[in-house]
Amino acid sequence: MGEPIALFPVPELDPAAFAAAQHEVFRGRKLRIGRSGTVHAVGETEWINGLTLPAPACHQGWSGLGAAGDLVPTDHEATCRKCRRLRGLPSLEEASGQGTLFTLG
């Protein structure tokens, strides 16, 4: 699930338009970092000109910006412990222990 982001930052790119497009890509979704199997909730990080870009909600570090294709949007349920806690979600252990499937928006 999820497709790499094709956009790559170029000097003539309008930063505001780029940031808006990035937020649009991740709106209502989750993200993975590169090939990591961990799914993070989407937060944002300060970029330039007072703009923000999508980033792991837990502020997990990664090299580069989403623009470079390091962040991959996904609709998978968040598996990052920190992100789940930040979003007020039960731990995966609790969730599986209850034997219920969660519908996460």
Contacts with Zn ion, residue ranges (CB under 5 A): 40, 56, 58, 60, 80, 82-83
Any alpha helices (H) in the chain, and if so which ranges? 15-26, 81-86, 92-97
CB 9 within 8 A of CB 18: yes
Residue closer to Zn ion (CB basis): 25 or 31:
31
Distance in Å, CB of 49 to Zn ion, minimum: 26
Distance in Å, CB of 81 to Zn ion, minimum: 8
CB 9 within 8 A of CB 65: yes
For 101, the token pair is: 């499937």
For 44, the token pair is: 């944002």
Distance in Å, CB of 69 to Zn ion, minimum: 19
Residue closer to Zn ion (CB basis): 67 or 83:
83
Residue closer to Zn ion (CB basis): 15 or 89:
89
